[in-house]
Amino acid sequence: MQAQILLTLAGGSLKSFVDSGELSLEDIPAFAMREFDLRGLNMPASMFAGCSLDVFDRLRDKADKAGCPVLTLTEETPLRFSDASPGDLNKTFDRVTRLATAANRLGCNALTIRCEAPEDTDELFERMAASIKKVIQRIENFDLNLLIAPADGLTNDPDRLTALIKKIGGFKIGSFPCFDHAETTPDPSDTMRKLAPYAGGMEAVVTSGKGGIAKVAAYEAIESVLNVGYQNTLAIRFAGKGDPVEMIRSGRRQIAEALGQVEVDEELEEMLQALEAEAIAEAAENGGQTPSESTPGPAAGLDPLAQALSDVLGADDSKEPIDESKDDD
């Protein structure tokens, strides 16, 4: 059975295009659909720095029309919850409220954050859980889920992150596992297996490997996500040097294959179309008969083009069935 995982694009992958003026923020949804057939966006908050409110509105409108909605807004900078002073904690609350306002305006269903917690003690753990509960209360009117992505410190350990999510409790809190983070842990598959059941989304990072070949971080861990029955979104993010378009295309193909989402091979389709066109042309030269309608000859005498077409498309169903009774003797 095909995994019910929606492949989406991490909009930050195209930041170089936006910075150079080749692409506007509002054009990203149509670009994601046209170039990658990715049907959703995870947008980093940093890409909206200095933008006016009408940019948010135009992006949401064009995303809806392209069939590629903005699903998640991500804050890349870790926020202080556990060891912050009352003043710093209020700044964190205000920041999350502003992010939630932006996410709501974009039509997102989730806001993803990271937590700054370099130390891991029971006291800091309890304070962090209490602070995040207050944050959720502040943004509950925005109809958003709050997702926590792993970061250095307390939330780097999948067991501690899942324990934090359980401690916070409720239906509005979840995890946002990242395959590049899993790759830094002792057992990437085990890390993803622990975080996936609480995930409201996740991210796979594609980089340009040796020879310009796309490399998907912790590719082997994708199977563990399937094994726990994860059914949500998986954003593909390009990082590093190289051509973002080619790397995302290649990474998408690898991830889709790992998920069992078989894609149509474009090169094979082109070959089949060429073979079919040549077969039709040959039929026209033979007086309108296709190779299958012409007088059959020895198998060795088949035209190589017709044989290739037959091999690709499958055997001719019109052949007489084998009479197995003849073998009884």
- Please state, rounded to an integer, the average pLDDT across all residues of the chain: 86
CB 73 within 8 A of CB 102: yes
Quote the radius of gyration of the chain (alpha carbons, Å): 26
205 and 95 together in one domain: yes
Q: Output the pLDDT for position 205.
A: 97
CB 261 within 8 A of CB 3: yes
- The Cα–Cα gap between 125 and 83 comes to 10
pLDDT in the model for residue 82: 79
The band of 77, judged by pLDDT with boundaries at 50, 70 and 90, is very high
Percentage, residues of the chain above pLDDT 70: 82
Task: Give the pLDDT band of residue 296 (cuts 50, 70, 90).
Answer: very low
Query: What digits encode the pLDDT tens for the residues 157-170?
Result: 999 999 999 999 99
pLDDT at 241: 84
Residue 80 has pLDDT above 60, yes or no: yes
Does some domain include residue 1? Answer: no
Asked whether residue 258 carries a pLDDT value surpassing 90, the answer given is yes
Mark whether 170 and 275 lie in a shared domain: no
Q: What is the DSSP letter of 322?
A: P
Residues 311 and 224 occupy one common structural domain: no
- Decide which of 210, 227, 258 is a domain's last residue: 258
Segment 31-51, tens digit of pLDDT: 999 999 999 999 999 999 999
Residues 127 and 226 in one domain: yes
| Whole-prediction pTM | 0.79
pLDDT of residue 156: 95
Residue 43 is assigned to a structural domain of this protein: yes
Beta bridge partners of 45: none
C-alpha 234/C-alpha 327 separation (Å) is 54
Q: Is the pLDDT of residue 284 over 90?
A: no
* Residue 236 to residues 42, 79, 131, 205, 217, Cα–Cα distance (Å): 9, 24, 31, 6, 11
State whether 20 and 112 are in the same domain: yes
How far apart CA 13 and CA 3 sit, in angstroms, is 24
Looking at the fold, whether 19 and 132 belong to one and the same domain comes out as: yes
Percent above pLDDT 90 for the chain: 69
Residue 312 is predicted with a pLDDT of: 46
C-alpha torsion 101→40→145→129, nearest 10: -100
Q: Are residues 173 and 307 both part of a single domain?
A: no
In the DSSP assignment, the letter for residue 152 is: S
In the chain, alpha helices (H):
15-20, 28-36, 53-66, 86-106, 122-139, 158-168, 179-183, 188-195, 222-227, 244-258, 266-285, 304-313
Of 258, 278, 294, the last residue of a domain is 258
Domain end among 258, 278, 302 = 258
Say yes or no: 223 and 284 in one domain. Answer: no
Residue 326 lies in a domain: no
φ, ψ dihedrals at 315, nearest 5°: -70, 155
Find residue 208's DSSP bridge partners: 214
Segment 2-28, tens digit of pLDDT: 458 999 999 999 999 999 999 999 999
Work out how many domains the chain is built from and give that number.
Answer: 2
Domain shared by 305 and 229, yes or no = no
Q: Does residue 275 sit in the same domain as residue 150?
A: no
Say if 151 falls within a structural domain: yes
Question: What pLDDT was estimated at residue 211?
Answer: 83
Read off the pLDDT of each residue in 208-221 and give the average, rounded to a whole number. Answer: 92
Burial 229-243 (b: 16+ CB within 10 A, else e): ebebbbbbbbbeebe
- Mapped onto helix, strand or coil, the DSSP state of residue 291 is coil
Helix axes 188-195, 158-168, angle to 10 degrees: 10
Give domain status of residue 35, yes or no. Answer: yes
- Burial pattern 12-24, b for ≥16 Cβ within 10 A else e, equals bbbbebbeeeebe
168/293 same-domain check: no
Position 293 pLDDT exceeds 70: no
Q: Is residue 119 part of a domain?
A: yes
Per DSSP bridges, beta strands 214-216 and 202-208 are: antiparallel
CB 41 within 8 Å of CB 66: no
Q: Tell whether the model's pLDDT for residue 308 goes beyond 50.
A: no
How many other CB atoms are there within 10 angstroms of residue 181's CB atom? 24
Determine the pLDDT at residue 209. Answer: 86
Same domain, 109 and 214: yes
Position 328 in a domain: no
Q: What is the CATH number of the domain that holds 95?
A: 3.20.20.150
User: Measured between alpha carbons, how far is 266 from 206 in angstroms, rounded to an integer?
Assistant: 21
Domain that holds residue 271: 266-317
Q: How many CB atoms lie within 10 A of CB 78?
A: 17
